[in-house]
Amino acid sequence: MKHFNKVMAIMIMAVFSNTVSAAQVNTYHGGDNRLLESTTNYKEGRQYGLQTKWHKNGTKASTGNYNNGFPDGIQTSWYDDGTIKSVINYNKNGDKHGLETRWYRVKRKYHGGNNSLIESTDRLKKPISRLKKEISRVNSLVQ
């Protein structure tokens, strides 16, 4: 049913794009019109302005601006527990521009003092090798 709602939203935009200059389209998780999945704005048939998406638990999944159908500016996403997942910057042409930052969940298992197995999740870890690659990439762009 979720797929049907998305298809319907696209069909509505296609049918009315010749007469409606701007519209906001909402999609819902499960198609029941109660749990909002996304809000997308359109201008002259193309994505324009703020787009926001939510996880099924109601926390924000992502947000970002669009211009003429392309991402424009900072696009931010979060894990379903609310911790940040990524921040990506786009130029006005929809190309990635500048530093792209992603955070990864890292699970570790270790034994406690009484041989009990303990599992923990570090939510905001970024591998050092990834940081080094990003620094090298940014330095090459600056030179």
The secondary element (H helix, E strand) that includes residue 138 is: helix 128-142
CA distances to 10, 37, 62, 128 from 28, rounded to whole Å, are 14, 5, 15, 38
Residue 121 within any structural domain of the chain:
no
Residue 138 within any structural domain of the chain:
no
Q: What is the pTM of this model?
A: 0.63
Average pLDDT over residues 3-16: 47
Of all residues in the chain, the percent with pLDDT exceeding 70 is 59
Residue 62 within any structural domain of the chain:
yes
Residue 91 within any structural domain of the chain:
no
Q: What is the pLDDT of residue 127?
A: 52
At 76-90, the pLDDT tens digits run 999 998 988 899 999
SS (H, E, C) 85-106: EEEEEECCCCCECCCCEECEEE
Average pLDDT over residues 57-74: 94
Q: Contact, 123 vs 103, CB < 8 A? A: yes
Residue ranges making up the domain that contains 78: 2-82
Residue 109 within any structural domain of the chain:
no
Q: What mean pLDDT is reported for the chain?
A: 75
Domain count, the chain: 1
Distance CA 15, CA 12 (A): 5
Distance CA 98, CA 75 (A): 12
Residue 107 within any structural domain of the chain:
no
Q: Contact, 75 vs 64, CB < 8 A? A: yes
Residue 37 within any structural domain of the chain:
yes
The CB-based long-range contact list for 9-12 (8 Å cut-off, 24+ gap) reads none
Of the pLDDT bands very low, low, confident and very high (cuts 50, 70, 90), residue 3 is very low
Average pLDDT over residues 101-117: 63
Distance CA 96, CA 48 (A): 18
Residue 96 within any structural domain of the chain:
no
Between these two residues, 106 and 2, which has the higher pLDDT value? 106
